[in-house]
């Protein structure tokens, strides 16, 4: 009976996610989904820690974070059948907290109203295929550069989490104290993960995270869990659930706030989809992403729902690249990631002990994998090569995917126009470049 049920379950998964067509299997997708979860589980605690400075209760935002992540990622799984995970965006939560609420004096309820309004605009732009048109308009060289830039960005985050690099007043960055416990654990994890991948071990990235977590215990980097199971309580979520204030948002100069949410999320998502899709081989022969509209709709609905749940803008996570690197090719990976986030409600004491030193090696090796796309740039054509370089290095140097893309569009359009090659780029590229210039001037 159980064997027949297993066969039926596998048949359902095959019909739903087309595993064989994508060259994958259930085991690979499960490992990939868990890997993605492990590399982005930090958002469960980091998003509430930022948002609580607005007066929002930590526990309530934690529940909202998990709920919005699960909903948006499940939508990605079933609507688009891609292995991408979504969650409240880093950077967007900082803008929500420090610029909108603390900087402008808006209540967090009204700020959630602004997030809701931006999400509605996202839905409209998605159905009118404006966002899909933007993805299709990105030149091939910039698509390759975006993938490589995200690789650099991910690796930079990994080096930062591992404390291999630290801030420095004179040189901006310098090498950290490598004899400290965190760099030692991260270095061991990086070596283990690299060897596992070099030897072709399936799930090497996930094993690397687990081994690094265990190694961190004697070094005092990984804390011992204070328990195993923590039962969820709706009463902890209720202080932010459905507390958005749309009327309050409209009473402000909301246009500028919504524009900022729109700009950052739109191009973070576009960049992530292009970069991770290039790494996973999801782009077609014309460099377009099939079912892009559905993937973008998952992001838009996630943002609208997240505002009701009590969290800032939801976006596609670049850490999805870790699951793709582990072999994830379908929405089953995303579904497993969503299931892990849902289960984390029960096992928060266990989830919370995985240190940054354990996930840092995974980010570094994924960065190495994504750098491969840079070879597709026409380096002998400076009108292609220079914008590609600016795009790639702009992401880690500004700590923003969206800003790196903006730099790339501006430089690409300007160099093409001034070198007499303006017709090689579509009108939409030149228009977006102009809009990016206006935005930078406006912000200045």
Cα(356)–Cα(365) distance, rounded to whole angstroms?
15
In a domain, 410, yes or no: yes
Instruction: Say whether pTM exceeds 0.85.
Output: no
For residue 9, count other CB atoms closer than 10 A to its CB: 11
E-assigned strand segments in 51-132: 86-88
Alpha carbons 315 and 276: distance in angstroms, whole number: 14
Host H or E run for residue 316? strand 314-316
**CA 432 to centroid of chain Cα atoms:** 23
Find the largest Cα–Cα distance for the chain: 71
Residue 1 lies in a domain: no
> Does residue 350 lie in a domain region?
yes
The pLDDT of residue 286: 80
Query: CA dihedral in degrees (298, 97, 150, 330; nearest 10)?
Result: -20
- CA dist 286 and 4 (Å) reads 42
pLDDT of residue 443: 66
In contact, 72 and 82? CB cutoff 8 Å: no
Bridge-based pairing state of the strands 314-316 and 165-168: unpaired
Judge whether 237 lies within some domain.
yes
Q: For residue 7, is it within any domain?
A: no
Residue 314 CA to residue 266 CA, distance in Å, equals 11
Note the pLDDT of residue 8.
55
In a domain, 9, yes or no: no
In a domain, 195, yes or no: yes
* pLDDT the model gives residue 92: 82
Question: In the prediction, which pLDDT does 444 show?
Answer: 64
Give pLDDT < 70 ranges for the chain.
1-9, 253-254, 256, 443-444
For 318, half-sphere exposure in the C-beta direction (CA atoms, 13 angstrom radius) is 35
User: Residue 64's closest CA among 241, 223, 202, 204?
Assistant: 241
Number of domains in the chain: 1
Which range marks the domain in which residue 388 is found?
22-443
Residue 41: inside a domain, yes or no? yes
For residue 4, the model assigns a pLDDT of: 53
Q: How many C-beta atoms surround the C-beta of residue 387 within 10 A? A: 27
């Amino acid at each position: 009976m159980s064997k027949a049920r297993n066969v039926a379950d596998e048949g359902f998964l095959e019909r739903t996610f087309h595993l064989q067509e994508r060259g994958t299997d259930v085991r690979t997708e499960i490992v990939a989904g868990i890997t993605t979860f492990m590399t982005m589980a930090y958002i469960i605690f980091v998003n509430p820690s930022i948002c609580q400075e607005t007066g929002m209760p930590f526990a309530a935002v934690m529940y909202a974070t998990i709920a919005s992540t699960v909903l948006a990622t499940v939508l990605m799984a079933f609507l688009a059948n891609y292995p991408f995970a979504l969650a409240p965006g880093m950077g967007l939560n900082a803008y929500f907290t420090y610029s909108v609420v603390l900087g402008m004096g808006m209540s967090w309820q009204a700020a959630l109203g602004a997030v809701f309004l931006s999400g509605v605009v996202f839905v409209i732009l998605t159905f009118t295929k404006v966002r899909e048109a933007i993805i299709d308009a990105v030149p091939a060289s910039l698509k390759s550069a975006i993938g490589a830039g995200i690789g650099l960005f991910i690796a930079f985050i990994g080096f930062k989490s591992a404390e291999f690099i630290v801030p420095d007043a004179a040189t901006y960055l310098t090498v950290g104290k490598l004899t400290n416990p965190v760099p030692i654990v991260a270095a061991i994890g990086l070596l283990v993960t690299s060897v596992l991948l070099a030897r072709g071990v399936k799930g090497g990235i996930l094993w690397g995270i687990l081994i690094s977590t265990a190694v961190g215990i004697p070094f005092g980097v990984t804390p011992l869990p204070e328990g195993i199971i923590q039962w969820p309580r709706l009463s902890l979520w209720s202080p932010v659930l459905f507390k958005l204030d749309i009327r309050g948002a409209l009473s402000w100069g909301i246009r500028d706030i919504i524009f900022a949410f729109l700009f950052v999320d739109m191009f973070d998502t576009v960049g992530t989809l292009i970069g991770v899709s290039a790494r996973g081989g999801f782009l077609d022969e014309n460099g377009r992403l099939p079912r892009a509209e559905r993937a973008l709709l998952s992001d838009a609905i996630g943002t609208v729902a997240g505002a009701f749940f009590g969290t800032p803008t939801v976006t596609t996570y670049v850490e999805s690249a870790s699951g793709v690197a582990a072999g994830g090719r379908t929405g089953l990976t995303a579904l497993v990631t969503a299931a892990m986030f849902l289960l984390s409600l029960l096992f928060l004491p266990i989830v919370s002990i995985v240190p940054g030193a354990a996930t840092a090696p995974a980010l570094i090796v994924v960065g190495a994998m994504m750098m491969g796309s840079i070879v597709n740039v026409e380096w002998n054509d400076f009108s292609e090569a220079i914008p590609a370089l600016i795009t790639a290095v702009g992401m880690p140097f500004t700590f923003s995917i969206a800003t790196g893309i903006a730099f790339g569009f501006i430089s690409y359009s300007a160099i093409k126009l001034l070198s007499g090659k303006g017709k090689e780029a579509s009108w939409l590229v030149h228009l977006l470049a102009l809009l990016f210039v206006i935005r930078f001037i406006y912000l200045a």
